[in-house]
Amino acid sequence: MATKEEIIQERLPRHIAVIMDGNGRWAKKRGNQRIFGHRNGVKSVRETVEAAAELGVSYLTLYAFSRENWNRPSHEIDALMSLLVSTVERETKTLMDNNIQLLTIGDVQGLPFKVQDKIQEALDKTSANTGLKLVLALNYSGRWELSEALRRFGEDYKAGNVSGSPDEKELNQYLTTSHIPDPDLLIRTSGEARLSNFLLWQLAYTELYFTDVLWPDFRKENLFEAIVNYQSRERRFGKTSEQVVRNKSKNNAPQYG
Ligand code: FPP
Protein backbone atom coordinates (compact mmCIF):
# COMPACT_ATOMS: atom_id res chain seq x y z
CA MET A 1 0.00 0.00 0.00
CA ALA A 2 1.32 3.47 -0.89
CA THR A 3 2.20 6.11 1.68
CA LYS A 4 1.79 9.86 1.60
CA GLU A 5 5.56 10.28 1.35
CA GLU A 6 5.64 8.54 -2.04
CA ILE A 7 3.53 11.29 -3.58
CA ILE A 8 5.35 13.97 -5.58
CA GLN A 9 3.76 17.22 -4.36
CA GLU A 10 4.60 19.14 -7.55
CA ARG A 11 2.65 16.66 -9.64
CA LEU A 12 -0.44 16.35 -7.51
CA PRO A 13 -3.65 15.95 -9.54
CA ARG A 14 -5.52 19.22 -9.26
CA HIS A 15 -8.91 17.52 -9.56
CA ILE A 16 -9.79 13.96 -8.53
CA ALA A 17 -13.19 12.49 -9.35
CA VAL A 18 -14.49 9.32 -7.72
CA ILE A 19 -17.15 6.78 -8.62
CA MET A 20 -17.82 5.25 -5.21
CA ASP A 21 -18.96 1.75 -6.10
CA GLY A 22 -19.42 -1.54 -4.27
CA ASN A 23 -21.44 -0.56 -1.20
CA GLY A 24 -24.17 -3.10 -1.90
CA ARG A 25 -21.75 -5.97 -2.47
CA TRP A 26 -19.79 -5.05 0.66
CA ALA A 27 -22.98 -5.29 2.72
CA LYS A 28 -24.15 -8.48 1.04
CA LYS A 29 -20.82 -10.18 1.77
CA ARG A 30 -21.57 -9.51 5.44
CA GLY A 31 -25.16 -10.76 5.19
CA ASN A 32 -26.51 -7.23 5.58
CA GLN A 33 -28.88 -4.87 3.76
CA ARG A 34 -27.44 -2.63 1.03
CA ILE A 35 -27.94 0.50 3.16
CA PHE A 36 -25.46 -0.93 5.67
CA GLY A 37 -22.89 -0.64 2.87
CA HIS A 38 -23.88 2.95 2.09
CA ARG A 39 -23.61 3.86 5.78
CA ASN A 40 -20.13 2.40 5.93
CA GLY A 41 -19.31 4.20 2.69
CA VAL A 42 -19.65 7.49 4.54
CA LYS A 43 -16.51 6.63 6.52
CA SER A 44 -14.64 6.26 3.23
CA VAL A 45 -16.02 9.61 2.07
CA ARG A 46 -14.67 11.17 5.25
CA GLU A 47 -11.22 9.57 4.84
CA THR A 48 -10.98 10.54 1.18
CA VAL A 49 -12.01 14.14 1.80
CA GLU A 50 -9.58 14.41 4.70
CA ALA A 51 -6.71 12.92 2.72
CA ALA A 52 -7.38 15.11 -0.33
CA ALA A 53 -7.47 18.22 1.87
CA GLU A 54 -4.29 17.23 3.70
CA LEU A 55 -2.45 16.68 0.43
CA GLY A 56 -3.57 19.98 -1.05
CA VAL A 57 -5.74 18.64 -3.87
CA SER A 58 -7.87 21.53 -5.19
CA TYR A 59 -11.05 19.70 -6.28
CA LEU A 60 -12.59 16.39 -5.24
CA THR A 61 -15.78 15.33 -7.01
CA LEU A 62 -17.83 12.44 -5.62
CA TYR A 63 -20.57 10.70 -7.61
CA ALA A 64 -23.04 10.46 -4.73
CA PHE A 65 -26.33 9.97 -6.62
CA SER A 66 -26.86 9.52 -10.34
CA ARG A 67 -30.06 10.19 -12.25
CA GLU A 68 -30.16 6.47 -12.95
CA ASN A 69 -30.15 5.75 -9.19
CA TRP A 70 -33.85 6.72 -9.12
CA ASN A 71 -34.45 3.28 -10.63
CA ARG A 72 -33.43 1.60 -7.35
CA PRO A 73 -36.04 0.30 -4.88
CA SER A 74 -37.75 3.25 -3.18
CA HIS A 75 -36.63 2.21 0.32
CA GLU A 76 -33.00 2.34 -0.82
CA ILE A 77 -33.51 5.77 -2.40
CA ASP A 78 -35.14 7.05 0.80
CA ALA A 79 -32.30 5.65 2.88
CA LEU A 80 -29.70 7.25 0.61
CA MET A 81 -31.45 10.63 0.85
CA SER A 82 -31.62 10.41 4.65
CA LEU A 83 -27.97 9.46 4.76
CA LEU A 84 -27.10 12.43 2.60
CA VAL A 85 -29.03 14.81 4.85
CA SER A 86 -27.57 13.42 8.08
CA THR A 87 -24.03 13.34 6.70
CA VAL A 88 -24.12 16.89 5.36
CA GLU A 89 -25.67 18.06 8.65
CA ARG A 90 -23.08 16.28 10.77
CA GLU A 91 -20.06 17.10 8.64
CA THR A 92 -20.63 20.79 7.91
CA LYS A 93 -18.59 21.65 11.00
CA THR A 94 -15.74 19.45 9.74
CA LEU A 95 -15.90 21.27 6.41
CA MET A 96 -15.69 24.61 8.22
CA ASP A 97 -12.83 23.45 10.48
CA ASN A 98 -10.86 22.35 7.42
CA ASN A 99 -11.65 25.37 5.21
CA ILE A 100 -13.42 23.12 2.68
CA GLN A 101 -15.99 24.59 0.30
CA LEU A 102 -18.93 22.43 -0.69
CA LEU A 103 -20.20 22.63 -4.27
CA THR A 104 -22.71 20.55 -6.20
CA ILE A 105 -23.22 19.52 -9.79
CA GLY A 106 -26.38 17.92 -11.13
CA ASP A 107 -30.08 18.62 -10.98
CA VAL A 108 -30.27 19.48 -7.28
CA GLN A 109 -33.74 20.97 -7.78
CA GLY A 110 -34.97 17.48 -8.59
CA LEU A 111 -34.08 16.25 -5.08
CA PRO A 112 -36.56 16.15 -2.17
CA PHE A 113 -36.99 19.61 -0.57
CA LYS A 114 -35.46 18.50 2.71
CA VAL A 115 -32.29 17.42 0.94
CA GLN A 116 -32.19 20.63 -1.11
CA ASP A 117 -32.54 22.74 2.04
CA LYS A 118 -29.76 20.94 3.90
CA ILE A 119 -27.44 21.10 0.94
CA GLN A 120 -28.18 24.80 0.40
CA GLU A 121 -27.42 25.50 4.05
CA ALA A 122 -24.03 23.80 3.75
CA LEU A 123 -23.30 25.55 0.44
CA ASP A 124 -24.02 28.92 2.04
CA LYS A 125 -22.06 28.22 5.22
CA THR A 126 -18.94 27.02 3.39
CA SER A 127 -19.09 29.49 0.50
CA ALA A 128 -16.20 31.65 1.72
CA ASN A 129 -13.86 28.71 2.42
CA THR A 130 -10.73 28.75 0.29
CA GLY A 131 -9.28 25.23 0.68
CA LEU A 132 -10.38 22.01 -1.01
CA LYS A 133 -13.51 22.27 -3.13
CA LEU A 134 -15.65 19.23 -2.44
CA VAL A 135 -18.05 18.74 -5.33
CA LEU A 136 -21.00 16.41 -4.77
CA ALA A 137 -22.56 15.07 -7.96
CA LEU A 138 -26.23 14.79 -7.00
CA ASN A 139 -28.99 13.71 -9.35
CA TYR A 140 -26.28 13.99 -11.98
CA SER A 141 -25.62 12.25 -15.26
CA GLY A 142 -23.32 13.23 -18.11
CA ARG A 143 -25.87 12.91 -20.90
CA TRP A 144 -28.42 14.90 -18.89
CA GLU A 145 -25.82 17.63 -18.41
CA LEU A 146 -24.96 17.70 -22.13
CA SER A 147 -28.59 17.81 -23.25
CA GLU A 148 -29.34 20.55 -20.70
CA ALA A 149 -26.36 22.51 -22.01
CA LEU A 150 -27.64 22.23 -25.59
CA ARG A 151 -31.16 23.15 -24.53
CA ARG A 152 -29.94 26.26 -22.72
CA PHE A 153 -27.64 27.15 -25.59
CA GLY A 154 -30.64 26.89 -27.92
CA GLU A 155 -32.60 29.30 -25.72
CA ASP A 156 -29.75 31.81 -25.76
CA TYR A 157 -29.49 31.43 -29.53
CA LYS A 158 -33.21 32.04 -30.01
CA ALA A 159 -32.93 35.11 -27.79
CA GLY A 160 -30.10 36.36 -30.01
CA ASN A 161 -27.50 36.25 -27.23
CA VAL A 162 -25.05 33.87 -28.95
CA SER A 163 -23.99 32.95 -32.47
CA GLY A 164 -25.12 29.65 -34.00
CA SER A 165 -21.73 27.94 -34.14
CA PRO A 166 -20.32 27.60 -30.64
CA ASP A 167 -16.81 26.24 -30.12
CA GLU A 168 -15.80 23.87 -27.30
CA LYS A 169 -15.01 26.72 -24.96
CA GLU A 170 -18.43 28.31 -25.43
CA LEU A 171 -20.26 25.00 -24.98
CA ASN A 172 -18.27 24.36 -21.82
CA GLN A 173 -19.84 27.48 -20.31
CA TYR A 174 -23.21 25.73 -20.34
CA LEU A 175 -22.07 22.74 -18.28
CA THR A 176 -22.67 22.51 -14.53
CA THR A 177 -18.88 22.25 -14.22
CA SER A 178 -18.14 25.47 -16.12
CA HIS A 179 -16.05 26.86 -13.23
CA ILE A 180 -14.35 23.58 -12.37
CA PRO A 181 -11.23 22.30 -14.15
CA ASP A 182 -11.51 18.88 -15.82
CA PRO A 183 -10.51 15.96 -13.58
CA ASP A 184 -6.89 14.80 -13.86
CA LEU A 185 -7.65 11.47 -12.22
CA LEU A 186 -10.81 9.37 -12.06
CA ILE A 187 -11.00 6.58 -9.49
CA ARG A 188 -13.64 3.87 -9.64
CA THR A 189 -13.81 1.26 -6.90
CA SER A 190 -15.21 -2.29 -6.81
CA GLY A 191 -13.60 -3.75 -9.92
CA GLU A 192 -16.06 -2.27 -12.41
CA ALA A 193 -14.42 -0.52 -15.36
CA ARG A 194 -16.99 1.85 -16.83
CA LEU A 195 -17.97 5.51 -16.61
CA SER A 196 -21.67 5.08 -15.79
CA ASN A 197 -22.66 8.39 -17.35
CA PHE A 198 -20.26 10.40 -15.17
CA LEU A 199 -18.62 13.62 -16.47
CA LEU A 200 -18.64 12.37 -20.06
CA TRP A 201 -17.34 15.63 -21.57
CA GLN A 202 -14.94 16.46 -18.76
CA LEU A 203 -13.15 13.08 -18.66
CA ALA A 204 -11.82 13.42 -22.23
CA TYR A 205 -8.15 13.46 -21.10
CA THR A 206 -8.49 12.15 -17.56
CA GLU A 207 -6.34 9.26 -16.33
CA LEU A 208 -8.60 6.38 -15.29
CA TYR A 209 -7.79 4.25 -12.26
CA PHE A 210 -9.81 1.17 -11.38
CA THR A 211 -9.36 -0.73 -8.14
CA ASP A 212 -11.01 -3.91 -6.84
CA VAL A 213 -11.40 -2.39 -3.36
CA LEU A 214 -15.08 -1.98 -2.47
CA TRP A 215 -15.95 1.61 -1.53
CA PRO A 216 -16.59 0.99 2.21
CA ASP A 217 -13.05 -0.45 2.44
CA PHE A 218 -11.45 2.53 0.68
CA ARG A 219 -8.99 4.29 2.98
CA LYS A 220 -6.45 7.12 2.73
CA GLU A 221 -3.76 4.68 1.64
CA ASN A 222 -5.93 3.61 -1.28
CA LEU A 223 -6.15 7.23 -2.39
CA PHE A 224 -2.38 7.61 -2.06
CA GLU A 225 -1.94 4.45 -4.15
CA ALA A 226 -4.16 5.85 -6.90
CA ILE A 227 -2.21 9.12 -6.92
CA VAL A 228 1.17 7.34 -7.02
CA ASN A 229 -0.10 5.26 -9.94
CA TYR A 230 -1.32 8.45 -11.68
CA GLN A 231 2.07 10.04 -11.20
CA SER A 232 3.77 7.12 -12.92
CA ARG A 233 1.85 7.80 -16.13
CA GLU A 234 2.82 10.04 -19.00
CA ARG A 235 -0.02 12.35 -20.01
CA ARG A 236 0.36 13.09 -23.71
CA PHE A 237 -2.89 14.85 -24.65
CA GLY A 238 -2.59 13.67 -28.25
CA LYS A 239 1.10 14.54 -28.60
CA THR A 240 4.02 12.13 -29.04
CA SER A 241 6.06 10.96 -26.08
CA GLU A 242 9.10 12.85 -27.47
CA GLN A 243 7.18 16.14 -27.61
CA VAL A 244 5.97 15.69 -24.05
CA VAL A 245 9.45 14.96 -22.69
CA ARG A 246 10.96 17.86 -24.67
CA ASN A 247 8.45 20.46 -23.54
CA LYS A 248 6.90 19.50 -20.24
CA SER A 249 5.56 23.00 -19.55
CA LYS A 250 3.21 22.82 -22.55
CA ASN A 251 1.89 19.39 -21.59
CA ASN A 252 -1.63 20.58 -20.95
CA ALA A 253 -5.01 19.30 -21.98
CA PRO A 254 -7.47 21.81 -23.37
CA GLN A 255 -8.93 23.35 -20.20
CA TYR A 256 -12.03 25.46 -20.00
CA GLY A 257 -12.79 25.40 -16.29
C1 FPP B 1 -22.63 2.71 -5.24
O2 FPP B 1 -22.58 1.45 -4.62
C3 FPP B 1 -22.87 3.80 -4.28
C4 FPP B 1 -23.88 4.70 -4.33
C5 FPP B 1 -24.91 4.68 -5.39
C6 FPP B 1 -24.09 5.75 -3.32
C7 FPP B 1 -22.87 6.30 -2.66
C8 FPP B 1 -23.27 7.01 -1.42
C9 FPP B 1 -22.54 7.07 -0.28
C10 FPP B 1 -21.20 6.50 -0.14
C11 FPP B 1 -23.09 7.70 0.94
C12 FPP B 1 -23.43 9.15 0.92
C13 FPP B 1 -22.45 10.02 0.26
C14 FPP B 1 -22.12 11.27 0.68
C15 FPP B 1 -21.23 12.08 -0.20
C16 FPP B 1 -22.59 11.86 1.91
P17 FPP B 1 -23.64 0.35 -5.09
O18 FPP B 1 -24.85 0.46 -4.23
O19 FPP B 1 -23.91 0.50 -6.55
O20 FPP B 1 -22.87 -0.99 -4.81
P21 FPP B 1 -23.01 -2.37 -5.62
O22 FPP B 1 -22.51 -2.09 -7.01
O23 FPP B 1 -22.14 -3.30 -4.86
O24 FPP B 1 -24.46 -2.75 -5.59
pTM: 0.93
Q: Please report, for residues 85, 146, 157, 168, the alpha-carbon distance to residue 162 in angstroms, rounded to integers and kept in the order given.
A: 39, 18, 5, 14
Top mutation candidate among 25, 38, 44, 197 for ligand 1, by most atoms within 8 Å of CB: 38
Rounded CA-CA distance 39/35 in Å is 6
Please give the average per-residue pLDDT across 224-238, as a whole number. Answer: 91
Give the distance (Å) from ligand 1 centre to CA of residue 76.
Answer: 10
Q: What is the CATH number of domain 11-141+182-233?
A: 3.40.1180.10
Of the candidates 77, 50, 51, the one whose C-alpha atom is nearest the C-alpha of residue 64 is 77
Query: For residues 123 and 102, what is the distance between their CA atoms, to the nearest angstrom?
Result: 5
**pLDDT tens-digit profile of 102-158?**
999 999 999 999 999 999 999 999 999 999 999 999 999 999 999 999 999 999 999
State the pLDDT at residue 66. 98
Distances (CA, A) of 51 to 149, 189, 221: 33, 17, 9
92 lines ligand 1 (CB under 6 A): no
Q: State in Å: Cα 38 to ligand 1 middle.
A: 5
- 161-218 pLDDT per residue, tens: 999 888 999 999 999 999 999 999 999 999 999 999 999 999 999 999 999 999 999 9
> For residue 127, how far is its CA from the centre of ligand 1 (angstroms)?
26
Task: Give the separation between CA 158 and CA 152, rounded to whole angstroms.
Answer: 10
25 lines ligand 1 (CB under 6 A): yes
